[in-house]
Amino acid sequence: MEELYEWRNDILLRKQSLEIFLSRFDEHVRSGRLHEDA
């Protein structure tokens, strides 16, 4: 059961970092920086 807990904890950390990445990506889109590069 301890391995399952560590595995779940690892997923939560990855999910958290992904959400941070997506929020930053969203800020770039809203500021129009990505549209200039396209």
- pLDDT tens-digit map of 2-34: 899 999 999 999 999 999 999 999 998 899 876
Contacts of 34 (CB under 8 A, 6+ apart): 28
**pTM (2 d.p.):** 0.59
Q: How high is the pLDDT of residue 37?
A: 59
Q: How high is the pLDDT of residue 9?
A: 96
Name the H helices within the chain: 2-31, 33-37
Q: How high is the pLDDT of residue 33?
A: 72
